[in-house]
Amino acid sequence: MSAIAQATRPLVDQTLSLLHDWTTLRSTADNTAGRRQMARALTAFLRDELGAAIIEPGETRDLIHARIDRGLPVTLLLYNMYDVMPASAEGWVLDPFVGGIVDLPGIGTSFVGRGAENNKGPLAGMLAMLRDLVQRDALPANIEIILDGQEETGSADLRTYLRNGTVARAGAAFFPSFCEYGGAPPRIFLGSKGIARGTIVARGGPSGGPTAPIHSSNSPWIANPAWRLVHLLATLAPDSTGALGRTAPTQQTCDLISTLADQFDPQRELQIRKSERYAIDGTTEDRVTALLMSANLNISSIVTDRTADSGVIPPSAQVAWDLRCPPNRDPEAMVADIRQKIADFGPDITLTHDSGYAGATFRSDHPAVIALTQTYEDFGIAPQIWPWTVGAMPCGLFQDVTDIFLLGGLGHGGHAHAANEFVTLEGLARFMTSLSVWIDRTARALLAVRAS
């Protein structure tokens, strides 16, 4: 065990206790009762353990807002999430909604369970660290805490809530997470791509195809809704990445991409992504540029309503899609363009669009970025600084209440959205220490800016 892990062992044990308890609460998008139960547990912790004022308890919204007001001149905002992806027992070494300590080959002693990495593990570590700072009277700033129960599905309640002016303005906002992906050099993200999600359904009807299952011998003269859907998808995005175009980077982004290309290990990234080859050719810088600057339509699933049958023409077929685009593109406008193209295929193909948000990116020279970079360097690690995460987080929604929103943190986790999601115990210790250091360093840096 490292010296850091030994020094923080009591806090790690406290975090693991919270994580054990919260893993059992099935706070998935399809389980409103589970999300409300999780919100009550979090609200009780914030109130009873941190002495925080509860502004929004999460009883009617999928959102919790708490405030620790110490009357200090600097305020920091900490964002996290408590919704998790669904999981079945298939492929897991233990029940994903029980969790436990497992020695993972090639990884080490870890907590395994749904949400261990994304994002109940970081959430438990963040709150345990805040409790320690409060108990030691060592918290150097006022803290606004926003916990999102809809991060996986578009943060609709958060968007509405941030418009009401309740959240105090903060000098910096931070989404603490485990950013040592695959045990690689840790990353700092200065923003996020935008996202939209939904479904496309093709049905039999006036444009062709049956309205009930029929024998597949009718294929020569009756259209198949599944084929109509496949043909539509080919017109929307003609290659296997679902690319919808690429935009030019700003000078800051160009500079960051150039540095990233020198730091980046393409083969290690393939291992992390469980893949054997890239879909695009070119240099490392070409690939990183495509990753960051491309808008892509991803297909998560393609199903018909007769998935267990063979020898039939199904009456309908459906895809679940998500669209991710760089901060300088509007996902709403892109969805409108897709909807128009779908209309050309006839009235029997429809698009639904769930909640989403635009992306955003922030200055690389902000004191909070410098503080986080220095925090990584304290551990002897040179971070990779990305202009934004190619996943999605609702950082753009916070632009009226803060000048910067960062995603970062030490800590090694993995398998988010998959079986055997984990966080290593060593990584959890590094995460908590780095978060405490960042809070102190950022508060002092912002105070110095105010005094200058």
Residue 249 lies in a domain: no
Q: How far apart are CA 354 and CA 349, in angstroms?
A: 17
180 falls within a domain:
yes
**395 shares a domain with 303:** no
In terms of domains, do 166 and 205 share one?
no
Looking at residue 192, its pLDDT comes to: 96
Among the candidates 303, 324, 353, a domain finishes at: 353
In a domain, 7, yes or no: yes
3-state percent breakdown (helix, strand, coil) of the chain, nearest 5:
35, 25, 40
- Looking at the structure, tell me whether residues 157 and 231 fall in a common domain: no
| Residue 255, domain member (yes or no) | no
Judge if pTM exceeds 0.85. Answer: yes
If one counts every other C-beta atom within 10 angstroms of the C-beta of residue 2, the result is 10
Q: Are residues 30 and 170 in the same domain?
A: yes
In the predicted model, what is the mean pLDDT of the chain? 94
The pLDDT of residue 38 is above 80: yes
Q: Is the pLDDT of residue 94 over 90?
A: yes
Read off the pLDDT of residues 407-445 as tens digits, 9 standing for 90 and up.
999 999 999 999 999 999 999 999 999 999 999 999 999
Do residues 169 and 21 both lie within one domain?
yes
Residue 333 confidence (pLDDT) = 95
- Convert the pLDDT of each residue in 46-72 to its tens digit: 999 999 999 999 999 999 999 999 999
Mark whether 34 and 89 lie in a shared domain: yes
Of 255 and 451, which is predicted with more confidence? 255
Domain that holds residue 423: 3-192+359-451
Q: What is the pLDDT of residue 6?
A: 62
335 in the same domain as 389 = no
What confidence tier does 354 reach under pLDDT thresholds 50, 70, 90?
confident
Number of Cα atoms under 13 Å in the Cβ half of residue 336 = 5
C-alpha Rg value of the chain to the nearest Å: 23
Q: What is the CATH number of the domain that holds 158?
A: 3.40.630.10
Residue 2 has pLDDT above 70, yes or no: no
Q: Which residue is listed with tokens 């054997």? A: 276
How many structural domains comprise the chain?
Answer: 2
Specify if 280 maps to a domain.
no
| Tokens coding 422 | 């984990």
Same domain, 340 and 232: yes
Residue 262, domain member (yes or no): no
**Among candidate residues 170, 54, 96, the one with its CA nearest the CA of residue 442:** 170
Reply yes or no on whether the pLDDT at 264 is more than 90: no
Q: Do 155 and 72 reside in the same domain of the chain?
A: yes
Q: One-letter amino acid identity for 155?
A: S
| Token pair for 325 | 């685009």
The 10s digit of each residue's pLDDT in 181-238 is 876 789 999 999 999 999 999 999 999 999 999 999 999 999 999 999 999 999 999 8
Condensed to tens digits (0 to 9), the pLDDT of residues 159-188 reads 999 999 999 999 999 999 999 987 678 999
Flag whether pLDDT at 7 surpasses 60.
Answer: no
- Indicate if 444 and 368 belong to the same structural domain: yes
Note the pLDDT tens digit of each residue in 8-35.
789 999 999 999 999 999 999 999 999 9
Q: What percent of the chain has pLDDT over 90?
A: 88
User: For residues 244 and 194, what is the distance between their CA atoms, to the nearest angstrom?
Assistant: 14
Output phi, psi for 246, to 5 deg: -135, 145
Listed residues 327, 353, 379: the one ending a domain? 353
- Statement to judge: residues 109 and 43 lie in one domain: yes
Point out the domain boundary residue: 353, 379, 404: 353
Q: Is residue 178 part of a domain?
A: yes
For residues 243 and 129, give the distance between their C-alpha atoms in angstroms, rounded to a whole number: 41
Residue 261: inside a domain: no
CATH code at position 303: 3.30.70.360
Residues 368 and 390 placed together within one structural domain of the fold: yes
- Edge-to-edge order in the sheet of strand 294-304: 243-246, 294-304, 316-325, 194-203, 349-353
